[in-house]
Chain A
Amino acid sequence: MAYFQYDCIVVGAGGAGLMAALYASRSASTAVLSKLYPTRSHTGAAQGGIGAALGNVEEDHWEWHMYDTIKGSDYLGDQDAIEVLCREAIDVVIELEHMGLPFDRTPEGKIAQRNFGGHTRNYGEAPVKRACHAADRTGHMILQTLYQQCIKNHVTFFDEFQVLDLIVEDGVCKGCIAYEIATGEIHTFHAKAVMLATGGWGKCWSVTSNAFTLTGDGAAICLRNGIPLEDMEFYQFHPTGIYKLGILITEGVRGEGGVLRNNLGERFMERYAPTLKDLASRDVVSRAIYLEIREGRGIDGKEYVHLDATHLGREVIEKKLPEIADFVRTYLGLDPVTQPMPVQPTAHYAMGGIPTDVDARVIVDAQNTPVYGLYAAGEVACVSVHGANRLGTNSLVDLVVFGRRGGRHMAAFANEIDLQPIQDRDREKRVRDQLERLLSGTGKEKVATLRKEMQKIMMDNVSVFRTGEGLQEAVDKLRELKERYQHISVEDKGKQFNQDLMEAVELGNLLDIAEATALSALNRTESRGAHSREDYPERDDKNWLKHTLIRRQEDGSYCFDYKPVVITKFQPAERKY
């Protein structure tokens, strides 16, 4: 039980959190709280690349990048924010290089770039080389480089501190409450500004590319504090996860020339996307795989297709895709140089999240009313630059562009205002009581069982294709699970390193997020980007060209609100690849 005071608190030490901390710490006292050691963050798992129109290999322009991102978003992305993303991408990638990031190089010594899904030249003509990469471990290099810079600049870290609640009073965020995993103590962090950079929530689903620790903590905490979540119905399934395991096989494989094949050996993407084929955007490719499987063309009648890279040759695979080769060899005992890889869509990325403006300030309504002192960046945030479907390589850009803007803004904000006193003295106690309740629970329900049931219903009913009926069933099931969650018991009663207890807390977060996702999906009666309703197969711009805001009310029920899409340069058009 201690009390800490900083100008700025950053929660999360992935790409977004570290970038924000680096910038905020330049002019304000800053601490980073992370439930993992920073270098364990899932940004390190990102493989393929970071998108920026550097034009190092062939002609490219940020306007083209902007167009591709908008089209990829199925016109739901906010175009003012997307413009910021694509313009600043160039300069932020150069900045990462200056920080020491070891990008691969072109023969002239410039940053190397490759093709990626949905990225095109001249407004959709043909694929363009825009993904800056360091083999297939780009995220690892970004995470390491940013952490190195933080160490160099003496940023203060509280490693293995799990944030359990925010302190928000009268529309002002004044800090957060954290659990020190090593000791089981609960601490209050009093601050002028707090940024949530806690990453995604792939663990809502059974097959996912996400880490065990991606449990949507930041988003769930907002929901419980009456802050709405935006566009939760848009969750991306990446087309190529390793069959059953969900481990990601980067789109870079297709960027280098790999193709998808069904049980007839047919390159089926030619039928679904005649121009970009295997490099069409992810929602399109994931749906195509589901349809192939549904029509009996999965391999051996099972729920997977083949990703074939055998024609690329050993040199390309070992040099440009070494991690992938290692995964496939380790987990499947297959050699991608000579054998195709079994893949299925895997739960991957949250387009939705905590609503923010382009300075990462959290906003609560269509009028962009901010919660003073509260920021969010990275996967947990929804700016919205990804709209209904994110393009590959655009998340890593999002992390560093908006992490940087948020870091700058929060430090400037903190330097302008005085520390606001915390009125409610009982917050810490309430958090402690909640943990005590979990610890003293004697119910029969087990965390692992509930989590598995949640993941199954989400995979079955809230994944690539959805129906009103299936979504309603999911909502009912999730309510049942939430009720049963009241009767769980935690076996470990200790104080030190009680991960059993933290997993129980995380399940509570996952259930809240899953419910908000299913409800938002049920509410949106159209198909757009990653949200495909079989009962409403068309995009409906007349009624649905708007963002969803879902908010939890005091009594636990939910209400919806909407926010217009910002359209500046590109009018919504039919989307063909």
Chain B
Amino acid sequence: MEVTVRIKRYDPEKDGEPWWGEYKVEVDETDRVLDALHYIKWYQDGTLTFRRSCGHGICGSDAMRINGYNRLACKVLIRDVAPVITVEPLLGLPVIKDLVVDMEPFFAHYRAVMPWLINDEPPPPRERLQSPEERELFDDTTKCILCAACTTSCPAFWLRGEYVGPAAIVQAHRFIFDSRDRGAVQRLEILNAPDGVWRCRTIFNCTNACPREIEITKAIAEVKKALIFSRL
């Protein structure tokens, strides 16, 4: 089938302003949007620029706005967005070129929540034990691939880039609820700051945007609850 792909283009070396490129491509309805972008890049306009790697939703390279929603281009099939597909870079991060945004502000928030296991006790000779029930508590938030689809769909983040954003809270959650971790107090303190978890207005955009189907709003609520609980 033939589809029309409208792409927001911007080359800092040539363009003063972003502009809309329109491309007609022949694709199968079960192709990915990523296939259509590749087709354009490989056979119509080699200057089209976007990040991608794995091609099946696991590396987090190709989050972008597709028909107004944050999606991974490799996980959206043509039949679900045809016949006119509008593609834009993520909102809220500086555009470098076409669909490529500067991810550094996003990763700075990630690093701010100390996303690593904190536990200075000498480890046992074998593995630390953890029951399947304890493991289950943070299972959902281990799935995050740092694609930024959630954070860049959040109105609170658009309004204020200093807000740590849903992805960083998801990462903090993954450790706060891990029975082996001892850094919950420190992380909760960071998230209790003005640009921490309280900026979340429970709008649910993040949960809808997550390509890994993480229940982000629920995770954020659990962190908020832990904060209230730890203050008592």
Contact = CB atoms under 8 A, between A and B. Distances in A.
A441 to B, nearest CB: 12
B132 A213 contact: no
B96 A151 contact: no
Nearest to B55: A212
Contact of A492 (B47, B54, B146): B47
A149 B107 CA distance: 15
B59 A40 contact: yes
Contact of B77 (A106, A151, A330, A492): A330
A139 B171 CA distance: 17
A211 B54 contact: yes
Given A45-B58, A102-B178, A494-B14, A149 B116 contact: yes
Contact of B61 (A40, A97, A107, A108): A40
Contact of B59 (A39, A107, A111): A39
Interface in A90-113: 94, 97-100, 102-111
Nearest to A106: B132
B147 to A, nearest CB: 9
B105 interface: no
Given A40-B53, A134-B142, A492-B46, A330 B75 contact: yes
| Interface core residue of A42, A104, A148 (most chain B CB under 10 Å) | A148
A18 to B, nearest CB: 13
Contact of B130 (A109, A137, A148, A500): A109
Interface in B33-53: 41-43, 45-47, 49-53
A490 interface: yes
Interface string B160-192: 000000000000001100101100000000000
A85 interface: no
A105 B135 contact: yes
Q: Do most interface residues of chain B lie in helix, strand or loop, or is the interface mixed?
A: loop
B12 interface: yes
Interface string B115-146: 11101000101111111101100110011011
B225 interface: no
A39 B52 contact: no
B11 interface: yes
B100 A497 contact: yes
B67 interface: no
Contacts of A446: 42-43
Contact of B42 (A94, A245, A331, A447): A447
Nearest to A323: B58
A499 interface: yes
B97 interface: yes
B49 A44 contact: no
Contact of A37 (B47, B50, B103, B181): B103
B24 interface: no
A492 B50 CA distance: 13
Contacts of B174: 102
Nearest to A497: B97
Nearest to B104: A159
B96 A42 contact: no
B72 to A, nearest CB: 10
A198 B41 CA distance: 25
A262 B212 CA distance: 33
Interface in A300-338: 323, 326-327, 330-331, 333
5 contacts: A100-B181, A110-B126, A141-B142, A144-B142, A247-B55
A-B CB proximity, top 6 nearest? A100-B117, A491-B46, A448-B42, A109-B129, A148-B116, A152-B116
Interface of B: 11-14, 30, 32, 41-43, 45-47, 49-61, 75, 77, 96-97, 100, 103, 107, 111, 114-117, 119, 123, 125-132, 134-135, 138-139, 142-143, 145-146, 174-175, 178, 180-181
